[in-house]
Amino acid sequence: MFPSRLGEYLATSIIIILAPGPSVLFIIARAVSWGRKTALYTVTGNAAGSFILSALVAVGLGPILQRSDLAFALVQWGGGSYLVYLGIDALRHRHAHAADMRAKGTDQPSGFRSMREGFWVAVLNPKTLVFYAAVLPQFIDRNQGSATLQLLFLGALFVVMCWFSDGTWGLLAGTARQWLATDASRLVTLRAIGGSVMIALGAFILVSALRQALG
């Protein structure tokens, strides 16, 4: 159940989580509009939806990756390429995201509504599903046991780490909501940092896959 590359996975996950991605920007938007409490409810709903997607990836991909060297190699190449794409897309649309985050809401949503909206944002975002399919399989060890159990464990661990990190972003943004909302350049900078980190991680995965293919 515990992959041999767990340390590498934790380090990579921390880098990905700390770089502000789409989920972080969504949560910051809620915090800027309605404050810390709404942001934390949104974080909880988003985490629940993300775990469901990670479980689907584990059940669907686990048996295939356990048996097929070709599938494992394709996931490596596809995962690295997808991370590079996400980074480029984030850089291209960083101004649009900032404009969305500055939009103010009118009626503050209830806790249940915030959780529900956070849940559906995660579940209905195809990029989240592809993200798990691209990243998690990079760190399983097919000689260590069931690939499905390893993927479930890695997905659950990632979701827990995201909950703490995203919750921190929500609390900080809710506290500094006026500071964030009054200067679009600050939001643009957050998005640019996230995009650059995604590109770097994708390139690292592609280089690792190339070394394995040549070795």
Q: What is the pLDDT of residues 142-189, one digit of tens each?
A: 777 788 888 899 889 999 998 998 888 888 877 776 666 566 676 677
* Contact (Cβ atoms closer than 8 angstroms) between residue 151 and residue 136: yes
Q: Could you tell me if residue 10 is inside a domain? A: yes
- Can you give the pLDDT at residue 105? 47
Would you state the structure tokens that stand for residue 50, as one six-digit string?
A: 């993300």
Q: Could you tell me if residue 107 is inside a domain? A: yes
Q: Could you tell me if residue 150 is inside a domain? A: yes
HSE on the CB side for 206, CA within 13 Å? 13
Burial class (CB in 10 A: 0-12, 13-18, 19+), 104: exposed
- Can you give the pLDDT at residue 44? 92
Q: Could you tell me if residue 104 is inside a domain? A: yes
Q: Around Cβ 81, how many Cβ atoms within 10 Å? A: 16
* Contact (Cβ atoms closer than 8 angstroms) between residue 123 and residue 22: no
Q: Could you tell me if residue 57 is inside a domain? A: yes
Q: Label residues 28-48 b or e (16+ Cβ within 10 Å = b).
A: bbbbbbbbbbbbbbbbbbbbb
Task: Point out the least confidently predicted range of 63-77, 128-142, 160-174, 200-214.
Answer: 63-77
Mean pLDDT of all residues in 78-88: 74
Q: Could you tell me if residue 120 is inside a domain? A: yes
Domain that holds residue 92: 6-214
Number of domains in the chain: 1
Mean pLDDT of all residues in 78-90: 73
Q: Could you tell me if residue 86 is inside a domain? A: yes
Burial class (CB in 10 A: 0-12, 13-18, 19+), 6: middle
* Spatial distance between the Cα atoms of 20 and 90, rounded to a whole number of angstroms: 10
**More confident position, 68 or 138:** 138
| pLDDT, tens only, 98-139 | 554 444 444 667 888 888 878 887 776 656 776 787 788 888
| pLDDT, tens only, 1-55 | 677 778 888 888 887 777 666 667 777 777 776 778 888 898 999 899 889 888 8
CA distances from 92 to 65, 85, 194, 205 (A): 33, 10, 12, 22
Would you state the structure tokens that stand for residue 91, as one six-digit string?
A: 């850089």
CA distances from 143 to 134, 146, 147, 150, 186 (A): 20, 8, 9, 11, 46
Q: Could you tell me if residue 1 is inside a domain? A: no
